[in-house]
Amino acid sequence: MTRRNPVLVLAVLLALGVAAGAPAQEGYTPSPDNLKARAWFQDARFGLFIHWGVYAVPGEGEWVMHQKRITVPEYERDMPPAFNPVKYDPAAWVAMAKAAGMKYITITSKHHDGFAMFDSKVSDYDIVERTPYGKDVLKMLADACRKEGIKLFFYHSHLDWHHPDYFPRGRTGLFAGREEKGDFNRYLDTMDTQLKELLTGYGDIGGIWFDGWWDKPEADWRLGRTYRQIHELQPAALVGNNHHRKPFPGEDFQMFEKDLPGHDTTGFNDKVELGALPFEMCDTINNSWGYNKNDGSFKSTKQIVQLLVKAAGYDANLLLNVGPRPDGTIQPEFVKRLAEVGEWLKAKGETVYGTRGGPLPPRPWGVTTQKGDRVFVHVLDWKDAVLALPRPAKPVKAATYFGTAKPVRFTVEKDAVLLRLDPAALDPVDTIVVLELGR
């Protein structure tokens, strides 16, 4: 071994660190259980996102504190005391998710308003101590999930509009009336303690879904310390972070907010690069995450099914959101659509669950998913009699309509496979052609 120039070594390490994103859990090696959990996660393909907090009371979304410039004392006075979800029925929520064909639930343990939806010992700003309801809704949900074999993840906000030590401030939460001082490391200590509570008091957790890093990307978030604690307490728990960048070391899946992987229709996914971890995209049914009584812009069931199928074609899960009402119920528009998606999955789920995206690239007409030597061609938008596909690497042995198993006429060219689709067999939601590949 020759002696290395320490300055050069440091420069290379720094460059690698920068390329990998923010300093986080450097040198992280996922445990065998974690790798198993990642494969489970990819097979699952469909989860329920739940944004629920005291912000549901006014019914104007989870950003109401920031948007309406509500100060900490006003928020404390008006929201928690009015939050009394007497109709909350966690078993019904889990049953709804299950019937929709969802395999996991990701619920807000703390959103940007800083209010803990669980019985936190390190803070009294939580559901048990501040609301008339007085019960730990996450504990109740964890128990219901365990009974039904649904995995539970927690969404936990890095960003905090309530904590005095969230200082220096970032881009949001500037109208909360907090003093212009604070100790950020003390805030992070509290956050880590809350995460420890979540990872030790609620059984096996699917993972932690972080959000809010983007409020101050330049800050030292001590991500390494936070991620290490999670992986030490529960090695199989999957860490994800909604920072809209390529994954940082210590993360176990990559998430995409309101966009398919690699797309940027929202404007905040412009810095996203695709990494090698499992993908998950999240989206809303209307245009709101937290309960918004004035948002009636519901996606149709067809749009949701096509979104799920497209996500699968991009090798991503779909985490689909509901924002329950302050009384604990989920609005009928959501319930109805979820039930209908579940009906579709009951018939066609085989072409989604346990598949991986590809082998053909996603196109405006649709996407492909695959399982072994079976390729599912999901034709989502095509009106003509002939659909030309790039020729797969392996020979096409047979082509049939999924469900009826009726043959699809096809011809193989040097560079293409031409599918001749029977107009009578076209399904306005998703016409699925199964290709059997050989060797």
Contacts of 322 (CB under 8 A, 6+ apart): 48, 49, 50, 51, 285, 330, 331, 334, 338
C-beta closer to ligand JFZ: residue 55 or 410 = 55
Binding residue count for ligand JFZ, defined by CB under 6 A:
10
Question: Which distant-in-sequence residues (6+ apart) come within 8 Å of 339 by Cβ?
Answer: 96, 99, 100
The phi and psi torsions of 366 (rounded to 5 degrees) equal: 160, -160
305 CB-near residues (< 8 Å, 6+ apart): 341, 344, 429, 430
Please report how the helices 137-148 and 90-99 are oriented relative to each other, as an axis angle in degrees rounded to 10.
40
Q: Is residue 292 a contact point for ligand JFZ (CB under 6 A)?
A: no
Residue from 161, 227, 289, 334 in contact with ligand JFZ (CB under 6 A): 289
- Between CA 73 and CA 179 the distance in angstroms is 13
In the complex, minimum distance from the CB of residue 227 to ligand JFZ, in angstroms, rounded to a whole number: 19
Q: How many Cβ atoms are within 10 Å of 345's Cβ, its own excluded?
A: 21
Q: Of residues 60, 113, 136, 211, which one binds ligand JFZ by CB under 6 A?
A: 211
The site string for ligand JFZ over 43-62 (x = CB under 6 A, - otherwise) reads: -------------------x
Concatenating the DSSP letter of every residue in 105-119 gives EEEEEE-TT--BSS-
Q: Rounded to the nearest 5 degrees, what angle is found at the Cα of 94, between the Cα atoms of 90 and 96?
A: 115
CB of 137 to ligand JFZ, least distance (A): 17
Q: Residue 238 CB, nearest distance to ligand JFZ (Å)?
A: 17
Among 214, 291, 334, 410, binds ligand JFZ (CB under 6 A): 214
Residue nearest to ligand JFZ (CB): 268
Rounded least distance, CB 275 to ligand JFZ, Å: 18
Token duo for residue 234: 């529960």
Task: Compare residues 11 and 268 and give the one whose CB is closer to ligand JFZ.
Answer: 268
Nearer Cβ to ligand JFZ, position 213 or 402?
213
> How many C-beta atoms lie closer than 10 Å to residue 333's C-beta?
14
Report CA-CA distances (Å) from 20 to 165, 193, 220, 376: 29, 27, 16, 34
End-to-end CA distance of the chain: 47
Q: Annotate each residue in 63-102 with x if it binds ligand JFZ (CB under 6 A) or - if it does not, as one string.
A: x---------------------------------------
Q: Which is nearer to ligand JFZ, 41 or 55 (CB)?
A: 55
Among 268, 336, 347, 384, binds ligand JFZ (CB under 6 A): 268
**Least distance in angstroms from the C-beta of 62 to ligand JFZ:** 5
Scan residues 223-252 and list those touching ligand JFZ (CB under 6 A). Answer: 242, 244
Name the site residues for ligand JFZ (rule: CB under 6 A): 62-63, 211, 214, 242, 244, 257, 268, 282, 289
